[in-house]
Amino acid sequence: MLWCVVGFITSTLLAVIPRIVKPNASWRTFHYSWAIPALLSLLLAFFFYPETYFIRPPVAFNGRILVQSATEKVDIYEDWEEVPGGKALPETPNSRLWIRHLKFCGMTSGGWKAMRGCYSQVLGCLVNPLIFWVALLNACVLASMLSISETYIDILSHPRYNLSPHACALVHMAGAIGALIAWPVAGCLTARVTCRLTVRNHGVRDAEQYLPAFILPIVTGIVNIIIYGVAAEYKWHYMWIYFAYGLSAFTFVSLSTANILWVTEAFPRWAAPALVVISGASNIASFGISFGIMPWIRSQGQANADIEIGVLIAVVGLVAVPIAFWGKEMRQHIHERWGTSQLGALRPQ
């Protein structure tokens, strides 16, 4: 939900900025004015937004007691007296709405010691193929977004379209709509699919059951970049460019949600460093790719370059197929060999 709402708000603000800032004004003034809020948000997030984890309690299912560890090892007990720690206390009935799940107070904090332990684990997550694959997929999707963001202004403001700066900025409204749609479509669909797979797995939820969440952003990521490239190359109606931009925002939000669900469920002990690798490595890679986007387009043409990016997304996305079949064994092997440290764990045991 947060990815959708934040994406909607930021895209909406970008759409109205040309009506606030004069087109001929210096862009540096805009960036200088927002540097202070950006720095303030960084400090607030670092000092007042600690990493939290959620303890997974034992549950009764089919006449037995299931206890699932941080590595998703399931122990089965016949009676509550055999369960370490005993029976979990029932939740107090509460009349508040679902927003109570967004509270930060009452959760267990990882602490400063856990934060220091994350730095060494970042290197381990970087060479973890099940995490590096997600970072690589994220980098490919960001490359497609860079191809669109670096060229749409020139395409829409020049013949055949000749749109005004205000009209060009409305492309961000398409992005806002795409980000907002990702909430009910990607979020609810993922929840329904994982619940159905859990029921078929006799009530045991494995991390691999979250892999279907990648299908939608991979497909939309391929479709949006190909539509944009072909529309820009062959001068289709400008609404196709708007549509591709909105689909790109939908792809980014739904992929970001899938990324978090996958790494936190697959490697709960390394949740924080895994998210650092996915966000940091993919952004570093996309920053490097940004220097080659325009030469790539000039040499191959807009359509060919964007089709090639779409092929890259498809190839990297297909890695999810073998992960779905053999990823659980690999993940358990990684946990058994290198999973002794619980610093930075999402669900320490």
Q: Which amino acid is at 91?
A: E
Q: How many other C-beta atoms lie within 10 A of the C-beta of residue 131?
A: 25
Longest dimension (CA), the chain: 76
Tell me if 313 sits within 8 A of 141, measured CB to CB. yes
Integer Cα distance of 168 and 81 in angstroms: 66
Interacting residues of 147 by C-beta distance below 8 A, sequence separation 6+: 225, 228, 229, 293, 297, 305, 306, 309
Q: How many other C-beta atoms lie within 10 A of the C-beta of residue 68?
A: 18
User: DSSP label at 65?
Assistant: E
Reduced to 3 states (helix: H, G, I; strand: E, B; else coil), residue 73 is coil
In order of 220, 234, 247, 332, the CA distances from 244 in angstroms are 9, 15, 5, 39
Q: Which residues are bridge partners to 61 per DSSP?
A: 64
Tell me if 346 sits within 8 A of 264, measured CB to CB. yes
Interacting residues of 327 by C-beta distance below 8 A, sequence separation 6+: 130, 207, 208, 211, 266
What pLDDT, on a 0 to 100 scale, did the predictor assign at position 337? Answer: 60
H runs (alpha helix) in the chain: 2-20, 27-48, 111-126, 129-149, 152-157, 165-169, 171-182, 188-200, 215-233, 238-266, 271-276, 282-300, 302-317, 320-338
Q: Is residue 322 exposed (0-12), middle (13-18) or buried (19+ Cβ within 10 Å)?
A: exposed
In order of 69, 240, 337, the CA distances from 171 in angstroms are 46, 11, 49
What is the mean pLDDT, run by run of 10 residues, along the chain of 349 residues? 78 78 68 84 79 64 71 71 69 54 49 67 82 89 91 88 86 90 83 87 81 91 95 92 94 91 81 84 81 89 93 89 70 63 49
Block residue for tokens 């946990």: 335
What pLDDT, on a 0 to 100 scale, did the predictor assign at position 106? Answer: 44
What pLDDT, on a 0 to 100 scale, did the predictor assign at position 311? Answer: 95
Phi (first) and psi of residue 156, to 5 degrees: -75, -25
Integer Cα distance of 149 and 152 in angstroms: 6
Q: How many other C-beta atoms lie within 10 A of the C-beta of residue 312?
A: 20
Q: What is the pTM of this model?
A: 0.75
Block residue for tokens 């963001």: 149
Among residues 224, 213, 190, the alpha carbon closest in space to that of 317 is found at 213
What pLDDT, on a 0 to 100 scale, did the predictor assign at position 52? Answer: 55
Phi (first) and psi of residue 282, to 5 degrees: -65, -40
What pLDDT, on a 0 to 100 scale, did the predictor assign at position 199? Answer: 87
What pLDDT, on a 0 to 100 scale, did the predictor assign at position 339? Answer: 55
Q: CA 200, 218, 181, 35 torsion: positive or negative? A: positive
What pLDDT, on a 0 to 100 scale, did the predictor assign at position 89? Answer: 58
Give first-to-last CA distance, the chain, whole Å. 28
Report residue 157 as tokens. Answer: 């403001």
Say yes or no: domain 2-23+113-338 is CATH 1.20.1250.20.
yes
